[in-house]
Amino acid sequence: MIIATAGHVDHGKTSLVRTLTGIDTDRNPEEKRRGLTIDIGFAYMQDDDGRNIAIIDVPGHEKFVRNMIAGVGLVDIALLVVAADDGPMPQTIEHIAILQLMNAKLIVPVISKTDLVSSERQSQVVDAVSGLLQSAGLPTTDFYSMSVLDKSAVSNLKAGLLELIKSLPHRRVGGYFRMAIDRCFTLDGSGTVVTGTVSSGMLEKNDILTLVSDNSSEGDSARARGIHAQNTEATEASAGQRCAINLSGSLSREMLRRGGWMAADAFAVRTKVVDVVLSAAFSPGEDTTHSKRKVSHWTPGHLHLGTADIPCRIALLDTSSFTYGQTVLARLICERTVTASHNDRFVLRDQSARSTIAGGRVLDVFPPRRGRSQPARLKYLAALNTSTAAEALSNLLELHSGGVELTKFARQFNLLAVEVAELVENKALCVVNTASGKWCLTTSQSGDIEEKILETLLSMHKDNPDLAGVGLDVLLQATNREFDKEVLEYFVQKLIKQNRVVRLASVLRHAEHRVQMSQSDDECWKKIERELFTAGQTPLRLTELAGVLNKELSETRQFMNHCVAHGKVFKVTDNRYFLPATLKELAEIAESLSAADNLTVAEYRNKTGMGRNLVVELLEYFDRYRFTRRVGDKRTVLMTSAEAF
């Protein structure tokens, strides 16, 4: 559990924390000299079982609101401190707005300095603060009064906080480990230490963590040599805890600054664009300038996400402007790298960083570059606009007849493999494994895709009775691209195994469809087939085939493409055509080399004796055909040669 303070400058937040814990959170000389909290500070108090509860003390001055936001991002309880002699002040109101936008679980209002005012004035302040909290729709407890003359007040507050902590639900520990860095320092004998509040997952000693920040790159990682959780040495830390990690590795202190994240490598998302749902910041009263202020399309601002403060532009997707009380969809285009997960809370401040203008939740960390305001895109974001992965998955499955890309979805929601498996099992989904990842579909959707493929093939055969079949790309186009190509391939392969679809070289036909070449074409084909068979693994070029047929080059090309459509040959390049049996033999060689992790251009050339240029062309064709996938200089076979050819 994490408790944080909130409130205007000089209203007694730091004094309250010191009284509760005995710890002075103003730790640097400048804070001591000015008597002013500048940066977030940390203290701990113990519950009845001796466990530490973290308290984050935040600055109240308007110049340091960015530091305040960095401290309240994941709090469970906020102590809203308001001085009785001042009453609600500008930063009181802004902090309430920030707490609302960050979805604080519970607000504990504390009226300080009550010994300086009359009971009537105290009642007025309570009414004013109560009105603000009620208008903002924040969940609150009863008010606590604090006075230097009332020694029992602190005991009452502490006892009340401990009871509240028992009643609040603990944060979900699922997902991969993520922690926004708020401090970095060096300890003699230990080395570099970073601290923060764990937002998700669990960290164990000796785990490898990746640094995700605007000044890091993929591969910047370190080992968690030591862990302190809630100010106690530990072997692990989990979501909702204050954590200090002693790092071992090559990451420098200059890289490990506030705004960066330490995360499990499986969740090292880097982006400069996120799609979000936005609400304007709370402002009391209908007649104030603040409450009437509009946020317009392309407004510049500062994104506060985690502990980062990043300049950005606000691109509104479903409106041209909005004010308090409205919820809109938007895209945040950032100047520097950010990392985020679905449902992460954030705050937006204006370009001059003087006031909070809006905030909301992250919906999509992998937005497409184009079509951001298209109806289909807005429907997709609306489907994501929910707090749980299970509900979002159901929404997306209703929206997309071709299923949901499970690999991307899991990363979007920061789900562990076991959590994904549980989702799939609970919803009784069909999982499709493709070369690029996993997809999931309902049983009904799976059946619909199979029927759609069969219906489309029959329809195309009816329209083109003289063609033996169609290519996969043509089939995909004919289905209006309802399905991802790899998903379509999966179900086509399934139908082939069931003998409901027949593959002829690179074309597909319905099992019931039959077509024969004309007699003259068949005679030409027999000549070509004989020459290709004799040539073996190095088939004749198109010019040589033209000589065999005694035809012009253009006429020969047209005839060979006709042979491709009849499933007689594979067109590997513009000039080379392979018999299915020959290509299957060459695929088997690739399969054996891949099994030995040795499928390279050089090894394939040595194995086949083919020229290097032809080997390159053939292997690139295998890639396009999705029989292989290239990674660096090597290739991996994605299906058996029998399945492919």
pLDDT at 202 over 60: yes
Residues 329 and 233 in one domain: no
The sign of the CA dihedral 373, 374, 375, 376 is negative
Q: What is the mean pLDDT of residues 556-574?
A: 89
548 in a structural domain: no
Q: Is residue 358 part of a domain?
A: yes
Q: Would you say 233 and 245 are in contact if contact means Cβ atoms under 8 Å apart?
A: no
Judge if 225 and 357 occupy the same domain: no
Whether the pLDDT of residue 464 is over 90: the answer is: no
Are residue 290 and residue 254 in the same domain, yes or no? no
Which of the pair, 466 or 369, is modelled with greater confidence? 369
Write down the pLDDT at residue 76.
Answer: 86
Q: Are residues 330 and 227 in the same domain?
A: no
Please name which of 60, 44, 161 lies closest in space to residue 109, comparing C-alpha atoms. Answer: 161
Are residues 324 and 280 in contact, defined by beta-carbon separation less than 8 angstroms? yes
- Which pLDDT score is estimated for 63? 58
- CATH code of residue 622: 1.10.10.10
CATH of the domain at 127: 3.40.50.300
What integer pLDDT is reported at residue 287 of this predicted model? 45
Which among 113, 145, 167 is the end of a domain?
167
CA nearest to 332, candidates 393, 381, 285, 392: 381
Say if residue 236 is in the same domain as residue 109.
no
The pLDDT of residue 87 is above 90:
yes
Mean pLDDT of 573-596: 93
pTM beyond 0.85 = no
* Domain extent for 218: 178-267
Nearest to 260 by CA among 245, 281, 275: 245
Type of residue found at 438 = K
* Residue 561 belongs to a domain: yes
Q: Which helix (H) or strand (E) holds 233?
A: strand 232-234
What is the DSSP secondary-structure string of 85-125? TT-S-HHHHHHHHHHHHTT-SEEEEEEE-GGGS-HHHHHHH
The angle at the Cα of 80, spanning 362 to 89, to the nearest 5 degrees, equals: 100
Tell me the three state secondary structure of residue 642. helix
pLDDT of residue 615: 94
Task: Say which residue, 172 or 225, is predicted with more confidence.
Answer: 225
User: What percent of the chain shows pLDDT beyond 70?
Assistant: 95
**Neighbouring residues of 144: CB distance < 8 A, sequence distance ≥ 6:** 108, 109, 110, 111, 153, 156, 157, 160
297, 238 contact by CB (below 8 A) = no
Indicate the pLDDT class of residue 585, thresholds 50, 70 and 90: very high
The distance from CA 489 to its chain's CA centroid, rounded to whole angstroms, is: 26
Residues 145 and 6 in one domain: yes
Q: Is the pLDDT reported for residue 38 higher than 80?
A: no
State yes or no: pLDDT of 116 exceeds 50: yes
Query: Would residue 403 count as lying in a domain?
Result: no
Evaluate if residue 334 carries a pLDDT over 80: yes
- Comparing 69-78, 155-164, 247-256, the range with the smallest average pLDDT is 69-78
Spell 605-633 as b/e; 16+ CB within 10 A means b.
bebbebeeebbebbbbbbeebbbbeeeee
pLDDT in tens, 206-217: 999 999 998 888
Q: For the domain that residue 182 is a member of, what is the CATH number?
A: 2.40.30.10
pLDDT band at 124; cut points 50, 70, 90:
very high
Q: What is the pLDDT, as a whole number, of residue 30? A: 55
Pick the closest to residue 177 from 265, 105, 104 (CA basis): 265
Residue 58 belongs to some domain of the structure = yes
* Residue 34 pLDDT: 55
pLDDT of residue 476: 87
At residue 271, does pLDDT exceed 80? yes
Number of domains in the chain: 4
pLDDT 10s digits, 516-545: 788 898 899 999 999 999 998 888 899 999
Domain termination residue (choose one: 323, 353, 376): 376
Quick one: 253 and 194 in the same domain? yes
Residues in the chain: 645
| 21 and 88 share one domain | yes
Express each pLDDT in 347-388 by its tens digit.
999 998 888 899 999 999 999 999 999 999 999 999 999 989
| DSSP structure string for 572-624 | -SSSBEE-HHHHHHHHHHHHHHHHTT---HHHHHHHH---HHHHHHHHHHHHH
- pLDDT tier at 61, thresholds 50, 70, 90: low
214 and 189 fall within a common domain: yes
Distance, in Å, from the CA atom of 54 to the CA atom of 196, rounded to the nearest integer, reads 11
Main-chain phi, psi angles of 421, to 5 degrees = -60, -40
- Closest CA relative to residue 135, chosen from 11, 281, 8, 5: 281
Q: How far apart are CA 483 and CA 439, in angstroms?
A: 11
Q: For residue 578, which of 506, 627, 527 has the smallest C-alpha distance? A: 506
Same domain, 148 and 11: yes
Tokens of 73: 């991002």
Q: Domain end: 141, 167, 193, which one? A: 167
The CA distance from 500 to 497, in Å, is: 8
Does residue 509 lie within any of the structural domains?
no
Residue 21 and residue 61 in one domain: yes
pLDDT in tens, 272-307: 999 999 999 887 754 444 455 789 999 999 999 999
Identify the pLDDT of residue 71. 58
pLDDT of residue 78: 92
**What does the DSSP assignment read for 434-453?**
-SS-EEEE-HHHHHHHHHHH
Question: Both 153 and 242 in a single domain?
Answer: no
